[in-house]
Amino acid sequence: MPKTTTEILTDALERAATAHGVYEAEVLGGVHDAEWPQWYAGHMAATLAEGGHRFTT
């Protein structure tokens, strides 16, 4: 059965959260990333594109 939109977005958010935690720890030295929304958006867009999903306007 195909995943629902909610399931797809939840998966992308969970992946972004995990990857961003690593980014903050390893790249930013544990400093809070004030630009996290942009980072998440870029990561999620890449993750969704890799999964064959596209946004349309």
pLDDT in tens, the chain (57 residues): 888 999 999 999 999 999 999 999 999 999 999 999 999 999 999 999 999 998 877
How far from the centroid of its chain's Cα atoms is residue 57's Cα?
20
pLDDT of residue 56: 79
Tokens encoding 48: 């969704």
Distance between first and last Cα of the chain = 26
Please tell me the number of Cα atoms within 13 Å of 24 on its side-chain side: 15
- The whole-angstrom separation of Cα 42 and Cα 18 is 14
pLDDT of residue 2: 86
pLDDT of residue 1: 87
Please tell me the number of Cα atoms within 13 Å of 1 on its side-chain side: 4
